[in-house]
Chain A
């Protein structure tokens, strides 16, 4: 009991310190979200700058994830506004809730969509101006040479070779539908990797590729996007989705961001994408210059607010990362230890517990994160963004296995002689557990905790997939921008934190493993 009591205080203090010390101050104000691709981030920056320009404190939760994540975050109030596309709203967000009109004509038929969204408490802006849909791109020179301007023009050139991404080849609304709509005769159509397609295009082996109409690559390779003269492709007009309560909570903010309506044509968006992606100019600067030029808004300080020194960025990521790790880990210890004891003591229940915990471990991280968003949001907890409870819950679940299994193994592998001695002494089961069995198993249990913590620190980088921040954020951005420096900015500190956790445990081993046991095995 002495072993226990002296350390119980220590444990209580460390748990309190771990969970209660605030790591990042809670950001008051409004939150703009963006998806994890460059255009969405640029738009997010533009919205953020417009809001700051109206004098409202806002935070840009960058690269939160995909459509589901963003929309759930908007619905649950984790974010207040983000840029979406009409096609996506029709096909993904409202799919099933309204008669599917696969090709909403430009700007005309937003009303049914607006009504449907209104029921969810969400407002829909007018289109920002550009359409980021499917298109067919040809080298400008080649198109001029063949006098091809529209998709209809393709019909008279049956010998053109086309190379499409496999997604475009397979989707019903991709090549099969396009071929039918325009009566295209080309027999020479191949499915291939998108990057490869661009290379073949520039070397003249193929004549046309599928593109997104605002893709930075269009600028980069000097492509002409053929006009969709029969309005075949669904429209992906950029719009803003925002919480309707902004109208009362921050009318000046809403008014300011809605000034973006109709200001952005495809050419400007493509140029901005190219600057951000190809020239690696920070998105805030790209968006800022655009707003200054187009809307003659003086961005001044607002634009620089986003850029920070590397040190400051890493420090902030460290705090975010620690936030994810400490909450999930402490929770995993508090739940995992009793589960491990239960598993060791009740053999049948134990098999069930170990089975379930083991299966959780096999769920792919991304799936688990996304699966957790909805239930977490339903509980009214922040589901995405910094402090995401979904990310913490996922990390908690992943940390359980090593803790439960080692606790169980540690207790099960105690020497039968010692267990018999303890029973023969007449100690009740609870005291045997606390004074004898747990201390004797402490080495194995601590090894489990160490494994859990190190894994947790690694897994926590995935939290960035749903905008939870941490070291995963620069890694994701780095992957998006193909910027190795940025990837290292996340990967190196993450590795360092894992090493620090190892070191911490070699100290904890000295404190927690009773001296009498350490004599046996000085390693």
Chain B
């Protein structure tokens, strides 16, 4: 079973965390999670013979934004899908708020998780509002409540209410992402999972949405797990960054940890490849 790990009985977690930290040579700034919402224990996933994720332990801290980063194919999206229960791990266990995520429980658990995929994944046959309210209507929520919630979320996601009656194909990429965020937040989930939410957007829209997303995360106080391959984006959002390569976790820490205390040569390579030229110039 998964233990709900809190400050009041932290020994087991802290030991393991410390061990992991030592292994990853994360120095200094490790902050112990007050409360772990998602925990992965010895989780591995392989597709046929190819290992996508190998033997990985990770705790996602409550009300923080954790960013999974790494090059394409490093296993970050696979990891996110396992947290959602969309993919069952080949071995190991995923727990959500203390409950194991299994094929049986995953559907109901998913209603407590909000998920935004790259490109939004909006259903083209439903209007923006139809997309946002689909699950609430399925669960038989009160129409007035739904209406009020939609207005509130449009505000949070900074989406013009007039756009709510449009179909996804009548909206820009950025607008679609805002709607996808609203849909993910509709039932006020404890955790928000985002897979490359800004990946398909042009730079200006991206910058705008990035700001609005962070605003939303902070104001809502949600636990957020975000997948990206962009280090600057990770830096912008993250309380802690999980850097992955080839199915393994190389380092957990802040951006500064990665830059100043890299746990492996790849971390340095990854960081220097993505740091803007002016930043490296400034630090030199």
The residues of A with any CB-CB pair to B shorter than 8 Å are 1-3, 417-418, 420-428, 431, 435-436, 439-440, 442, 514-517, 519-520
Contact = CB atoms under 8 A, between A and B. Distances in A.
Given A423-B110, A435-B134, 17 more contacts: A2-B130, A3-B126, A417-B117, A417-B118, A420-B117, A421-B121, A424-B110, A424-B115, A424-B121, A425-B111, A426-B110, A427-B134, A436-B125, A439-B125, A516-B123, A517-B124, A519-B170
A435 B131 CA distance: 11
Nearest to A431: B138
Majority secondary structure, A binding face:
helix
5 tightest A-B CB contacts, nearest first: A421-B121, A426-B110, A514-B125, A516-B167, A426-B111
Contact of B84 (A418, A424, A436, A440): A424
B237 to A, nearest CB: 20
A519 B169 contact: yes
Given A516-B126, A519-B167, A425 B86 contact: no
A515 B126 CA distance: 8
Interface of B: 81, 84, 86, 107-111, 113, 115, 117-119, 121-127, 130, 134-135, 137-138, 167-170, 183
Contacts, number: 81
Given A421-B117, A515-B167, A519-B167, A427 B135 contact: yes
Contact of A1 (B124, B137, B169): B137
B120 to A, nearest CB: 8
5 contacts: A417-B119, A424-B113, A425-B111, A426-B108, A519-B169
A418 B113 CA distance: 17
A519 B81 CA distance: 31
A426 B186 CA distance: 13
B111 A516 contact: no
Contact of A424 (B86, B119, B130, B167): B86
Given A420-B86, A516-B127, A426 B167 contact: no
Contacts of B168: 516
B125 A440 contact: yes
Contacts of B119: 417
A203 B204 CA distance: 93
Contacts of A424: 84, 86, 110, 113, 115, 117, 121
Contacts of B84: 424
B184 to A, nearest CB: 9
Contact of A425 (B118, B127, B135, B170): B135
A436 B123 CA distance: 7
A93 B121 CA distance: 67
A420 B84 CA distance: 11
Contacts of A417: 117-119, 121
A418 B135 contact: no
Contact of B169 (A427, A439, A520): A520
Nearest to A425: B135
Given A423-B110, A426-B110, A427-B138, A418 B121 contact: yes
Contacts of A515: 125, 167
Nearest to A429: B107
A439 B130 CA distance: 13
The residue in B113, B118, B125, B170 that gathers the most chain A C-beta atoms within 10 A of its C-beta is B125
A516 to B, nearest CB: 4
Nearest to B127: A516
B121 A426 contact: no
Contacts of B134: 425, 427, 435
B117 A422 contact: no
B124 A520 contact: yes
A516 B169 contact: yes
A420 B167 contact: no
